[in-house]
Structure 1
Amino acid sequence: MRIFNISRFKMLKNQRLKNYVLYAFGEIILVVLGILIALKVNNNNLQNQKQQQVLSSANRVLELMQKDDSDINGVLNHWANVEKTIDTVLVITKANEPIINCESCLDLLLSIKLPELDDEIVQLISNEDLSNSELDNILKAIAKDYKSILITANFYKESSTEVLKDHLNHLKENYSWFAQYLYNGICDEACQEYHNNSSDYRNKVAYLNFILYDSYQYDLLLFKDRLKKHILKLKSELSI
């Protein structure tokens, strides 16, 4: 009888140990599952936050592209009027004839209007950790085109600015009427003679046209076409 009780005690003890092990193992499984679930939830939250950030950046990119598109249109329209003036100087007026009825000719070599493109779009997209989603690929393509046009824009800005500086220095050093013309906008007879009959003036107009308008306008029109497509794609992806 005593042996039976000891055996029963051992059996109960083993059973309790098994139950404890099973319970402990179950607790470990629950803890692991809890950690995995927490990691999954945290990962989903991070992904959602990332997606929301990308969407926010994409909407800002769209806003900036629309602004740039409007600015480019304004510049191209201005250039269309400039081209009429250039045609008056270089095409309509023969080399041995004076340029007449061309008030805008006086300002042709004093200022230029260029599109105001900055690198905010490139910076916005570069700051995002993009994947291979449709939206992310659209943003990558936008950044690529903007990097290219910014290099182009900087080149033409430096080139045309240098041309204008050279022209102003030339007038400053060689023509007495320059001070009154620049400061008060007064163009006396000698000033009119320079702008109406001087081959020097016409050569400088031809050079500026070659450096800026002929070349940059073509590049800008190509970019404008790509910009329109980017805007349409981004609007579609954002369901705007």
Structure 2
Amino acid sequence: MRIFNASRLKMLKSKRLKNYILYALGEIILVVLGILIALKVNNNNLENQKQQQLLGSANRVLELMQKDDSDIDDVLKHWVNVEKTIDTVLVITKATEPIVNCESCLNLLLSIKLPELDDEIVQLISNEDLSNSELDTTLKAIAKDYKSILITANFYKESSTEVLKDHLGYLKENYAWFAQYVYNGICDEACQEYHNNSSDYRNKVAYLNFILYDSYQYDLLVFKDRLKNHISKLKSILNN
């Protein structure tokens, strides 16, 4: 009888231990599953946040590209009038003749209008962790074209600014009428003589046209064509 009770007690203890182990394993599995589910939910939330941030950046990129497209249009239209003035100085008027009836000629070497392209687009895209989706590939292509045009724009801005500075410095050092001309916009007889008959003035107009308008206009037209394609494609992706 005692042997039976001892054997039964041993079996009960073994069964309890087995049940305890199974219970413990079940608890561990539940905890692990809970952690995995929490990680999955957290990853989904992070992915959603990342996607929303990317869409926000893409919409901002689209807005900036549309602004740049409009700005380039305004500059190119302005340059059409500038080119007419340059033609008056360099083509229509012979080198042996005075330049007449050209009030706009007086401003050719005083100021220039350039497109205001900002690097915000490149910064926005570079801050995103891009993959190989259609949106990401499009943004990469946009960033590549913008990096290129920004280098070009900076070169022309520095070059043309240097020409204007040199011209103003030359006038300041050599002509008494410079102060009234720059400060009040008054161009007296001596000033008119310089702008109408001076080969120096014509040479500087030709140089500015060579380093800025002739070459930069082509680069802007090429970029503008790519910009329109980028705008169209990005709009299509964001609207889907």
Within-5 A mapping of 1:38-77: 38-77=38-77
Match of 1:192 in 2: 192
Listed one character per residue, the Cα deviations across residues 45-80 of structure 1 (whole Å, up to 9, x for unaligned) are 111111111111111111111111111100000011
Listed one character per residue, the Cα deviations across residues 59-102 of structure 1 (whole Å, up to 9, x for unaligned) are 11111111111111000000111000001111111111111111
- In 1, Cα distance between equivalents of 2:51 and 2:202: 56
Match of 2:237 in 1: 237
Listed one character per residue, the Cα deviations across residues 106-150 of structure 1 (whole Å, up to 9, x for unaligned) are 101100000111111111111111111111111111111111111
Q: Report deviation, 1:169.
A: 0.8
Instruction: State yes or no: 1:81 paired with 2:47.
Output: no
TM-score by length of 2: 0.97
Report the residue type matching 1:40 in the other structure: K
| Secondary structure of 1:131 counterpart | coil
Superposed CA RMSD: 1.0
- In 2, Cα distance between equivalents of 1:123 and 1:43: 26
Match of 2:33 in 1: 33
Match of 1:219 in 2: 219
Match of 1:24 in 2: 24
Match of 1:13 in 2: 13
- In 2, Cα distance between equivalents of 1:46 and 1:86: 58
State, as a whole percentage, how many aligned pairs show the same letter: 88
Instruction: State yes or no: 1:179 paired with 2:207.
Output: no
Instruction: State yes or no: 1:124 paired with 2:127.
Output: no
Instruction: State yes or no: 1:112 paired with 2:112.
Output: yes
Match of 1:202 in 2: 202
Greater mean alpha carbon deviation, residues 136-145 or residues 206-215: 136-145
- In 2, Cα distance between equivalents of 1:227 and 1:3: 94
Report the residue type matching 1:202 in the other structure: R
TM-score by length of 1: 0.97
Q: Report deviation, 1:182.
A: 1.0
Match of 1:92 in 2: 92
Report the residue type matching 2:55 in the other structure: L
Report the residue type matching 1:186 in the other structure: I
Where structure 2 has 5 or more consecutive residues not aligned to the other structure, the ranges are none
Q: Report deviation, 1:2.
A: 2.6
- In 2, Cα distance between equivalents of 1:35 and 1:180: 79
Report the residue type matching 2:235 in the other structure: K
| Secondary structure of 2:208 counterpart | helix
Report the residue type matching 2:222 in the other structure: L
| Secondary structure of 2:35 counterpart | helix
